[in-house]
């Protein structure tokens, strides 16, 4: 009797349990469309969470990278060092070119620095804007510069022995180049010009001013460094002229301001400075190679001798130089109205 009663109770219990489970499933069953909406909402929520986390990380990283970049270029004066390399390279590799250092703009990004500035040429008595330069550095490695020249007769983008306008008297290239006296003869008298003079012999910097007279101004001289009289094959590499401004620039920021050292001494100091970062200077300059570690000892041993010069003055006075027997080749540069 008890056994039958227990069996009935157990069956009743299971029946009640099954009914309860069925009722629960009926009351909590989610329609398929609602399930899709829930899944979509879950995915959107997860995506938004990931986006917010990523933005938070970026907002944290950007200030850190920015601060790190500024510290990289600030510590040890690296930014100023790169600016010095850039500006001094221009002075000694680009004839009759100058810049206003106070106008150099720098833009520091994530471990990059961009420099922007204008360059000027002295033609007659005035400085004319010659171009707009921009240089980009990744850390301290420069990319090839961008030059937007405003000149009618700019120098080649990459200077070398065959394409420059100044030739050594003993070199092979100036012998096959004609002068531009005809161009100068046809220019109006009311103009001032810039001309490139190659000499028949080496001279001391002071001698060339005496030879050319007081009515023209020698702006820049090309210095003989023991390579310019060789062919490309004999030299083993192609070089462009290096030199320096012959006139003292009284502007306080110019390296050739004459306040403590002569222009010749400043020129040698700049060459030693650039030799420490020669690859950077080569990339900045228009020359294919600088070879400063060979050229500097030659200059120090033999002294500064010049084989060419950039001269400016009134066109009628420049024409008179045709009679000067010390000049082998003359190439016309820029021409402006009388100033």
Going by pLDDT thresholds of 50, 70 and 90, the confidence category of residue 19 is low
Alpha helices of the chain — where are they, by DSSP H? 2-28, 32-74, 78-93, 181-185, 205-212, 232-235, 263-275, 278-284, 292-302, 315-320
Res 170: pLDDT = 86
For the chain, how big is the Rg over CA atoms in Å? 37
Give yes or no for residue 172 having a pLDDT over 90: no
Give yes or no for residue 129 having a pLDDT over 90: yes
As a whole number of angstroms, the distance between CA 331 and CA 318 comes to 11
Asked whether 193 and 331 are in contact (CB, 8 A), the reply is no
DSSP β-bridge partners for residue 159: 287
Going by pLDDT thresholds of 50, 70 and 90, the confidence category of residue 294 is very high
Average pLDDT over residues 78-95: 93
Give me the percent of the chain exceeding a pLDDT of 90.
51
Q: Tell me, what DSSP letter sits at residue 187?
A: S
Average pLDDT over residues 114-142: 93
Per the prediction, the chain carries an average pLDDT of: 85
As a whole number of angstroms, the distance between CA 177 and CA 284 comes to 28
Q: Which long-range contacts (CB under 8 A, 24 or more apart) does 296-301 make?
A: 296/268, 296/271, 296/272, 298/225, 298/226, 299/223, 299/225, 299/268, 299/271, 300/268
Give yes or no for residue 13 having a pLDDT over 80: no
Among the residue ranges 99-103, 137-141, 280-284, 323-327, the one predicted with the least confidence is 99-103
Q: What is the pLDDT of residues 271-286, one digit of tens each?
A: 999 999 999 999 998 7
Average pLDDT over residues 133-150: 91
Going by pLDDT thresholds of 50, 70 and 90, the confidence category of residue 49 is confident
Residue with more model confidence, 222 or 14: 222
As a whole number of angstroms, the distance between CA 195 and CA 277 comes to 32
Res 303: pLDDT = 96
Phi then psi for 115, rounded to 5 degrees? -115, 140
As a whole number of angstroms, the distance between CA 327 and CA 83 comes to 37
Give yes or no for residue 252 having a pLDDT over 70: no
Q: And the tokens for 174?
A: 């100036």
Res 65: pLDDT = 77
Res 286: pLDDT = 74
Confidence (pTM): 0.80
Give yes or no for residue 122 having a pLDDT over 90: yes
List, in order, residues 6 or more apart from 217 with CB less than 8 Å away.
122, 247, 311, 312, 313
**Alpha carbon of residue 318 to chain centroid:** 34
Q: What is the pLDDT of residues 222-249, one digit of tens each?
A: 999 998 888 765 666 777 889 999 998 8
SS3 content of the chain, % helix, strand, coil (to 5): 45, 25, 30
If one counts every other C-beta atom within 10 angstroms of the C-beta of residue 291, the result is: 21
Res 131: pLDDT = 94
Unique residue bearing structure tokens 């909406």: 37
Average pLDDT over residues 104-122: 91
**Nearest residue to 330 via CA among 311, 304, 305, 306:** 311
């Amino acid at each position: 009797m008890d056994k039958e009663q227990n069996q009935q109770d157990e069956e009743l219990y299971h029946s009640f349990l099954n009914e309860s489970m069925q009722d629960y499933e009926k009351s909590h069953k989610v329609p398929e469309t609602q399930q899709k909406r829930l899944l979509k909402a879950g995915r959107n929520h997860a995506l938004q969470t990931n986006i917010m986390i990523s933005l938070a990380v970026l907002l944290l990283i950007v200030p850190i990278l920015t601060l790190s970049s500024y510290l990289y270029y600030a510590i040890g004066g690296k930014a100023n060092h790169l600016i010095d390399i850039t500006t001094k390279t221009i002075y000694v590799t680009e004839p009759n070119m100058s810049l206003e250092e106070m106008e150099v703009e720098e833009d520091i990004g994530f471990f990059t620095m961009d420099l922007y500035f204008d360059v000027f040429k002295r033609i007659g008595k005035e400085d004319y804007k010659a171009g707009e330069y921009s240089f980009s550095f990744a850390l301290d490695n420069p990319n090839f510069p961008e030059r937007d020249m405003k000149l009618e007769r700019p120098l080649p983008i990459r200077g070398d022995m065959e394409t420059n306008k100044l030739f050594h008297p003993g070199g092979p290239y100036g012998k096959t180049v004609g002068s531009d006296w005809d161009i100068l003869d046809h220019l109006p008298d009311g103009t001032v010009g810039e001309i490139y003079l190659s000499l028949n012999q080496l001279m001391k910097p002071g001698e060339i001013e005496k030879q050319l007279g007081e009515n023209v101004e020698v702006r820049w001289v090309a210095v003989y460094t023991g390579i310019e009289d060789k062919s490309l094959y004999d030299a083993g590499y192609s070089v462009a002229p290096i030199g320096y401004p012959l006139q003292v620039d009284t502007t306080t920021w110019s390296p050739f301001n004459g306040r403590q050292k002569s222009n010749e001494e400043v020129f040698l100091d700049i060459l030693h400075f650039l030799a420490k970062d020669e690859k950077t200077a080569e990339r900045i300059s228009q020359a294919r190679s600088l070879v400063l570690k060979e050229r500097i000892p030659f200059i120090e041993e033999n002294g500064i001798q010049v084989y060419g010069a950039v001269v400016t003055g009134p066109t009628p006075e420049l024409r008179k130089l045709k009679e000067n027997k010390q000049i082998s080749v003359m190439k016309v540069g820029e021409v402006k109205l009388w100033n």
